[in-house]
Chains A and B, each alone.
Chain A
Amino acid sequence: KQEVTQIPAALSVPEGENLVLNCSFTDSAIYNLQWFRQDPGKGLTSLLLIQSSQREQTSGRLNASLDKSSGRSTLYIAASQPGDSATYLCAVRPQAGTALIFGKGTTLSVSS
């Protein structure tokens, strides 16, 4: 059964730092992978979607990469800001007709 792990569980950085959030999954046969952001007490906001055939996706200061063979994805945040403070969740879609399987998230705190 597919399992998704995110390390570290929490991360604190000063404003302006570039940072990398990690996501690993146990079965490399995936349909796609999606990164989300969640603010406290709120729903999930989609950040980036990477299809299984893609290596990376970019949106503004965010860049997500995918290495299926090693079962890993990274979310790179450039020039972090206090407004980036949130929990970041990685989710794998194993096959076309399946639901998302989530990691437990990395809670990011960016101090000014």
Chain B
Amino acid sequence: DVKVTQSSRYLVKRTGEKVFLECVQDMDHENMFWYRQDPGLGLRLIYFSYDVKMKEKGDIPEGYSVSREKKERFSLILESASTNQTSMYLCASRDPGGSVGAFFGQGTRLTVV
């Protein structure tokens, strides 16, 4: 079974802190994604990585950056956390061939105080 693992289920950080959310997948997928999910807004794409060191901005990249130095790991970085970044963050991976679809991690519930 494909496994996508996010480093934390719950995280509480202070305003202004630099925050790292880590995601690891074990199926050698080239594509990886970060979404955030908010009530009433649904899932919104933050960043998309086609392959190692390749990235593309999604719909809401402001205040975030990403790093993908190895194929299996995709990190989301909040440069200076703000309260409006309190959200559920979801990581996903996918074989670009598209025969089996995308797989998601368990989510990280981030609270910025």
- Listed in ascending order, the chain A residues whose CB lies under 8 Å from chain B are 31-32, 34, 36, 41-46, 49, 51, 89, 91, 93, 96-97, 99-105
Contacts and interface: CB of A to CB of B under 8 A. Distances in A.
Interface of B: 4, 6, 33, 35, 40-43, 45, 48, 50, 58, 88, 90, 92, 96, 98, 100-107, 109
Contacts of A46: 101-104
A25 to B, nearest CB: 14
Given A43-B106, A97-B50, A34 B101 contact: yes
B43 A93 contact: no
B96 A99 contact: no
Contacts of B104: 36, 43-46
Nearest to B90: A43
A112 to B, nearest CB: 27
A39 B50 CA distance: 28
A105 B103 contact: no
A9 to B, nearest CB: 10
Contacts of A34: 101-102
B109 A41 contact: yes
Contacts of B88: 41
A96 B96 contact: yes
Nearest to B34: A99
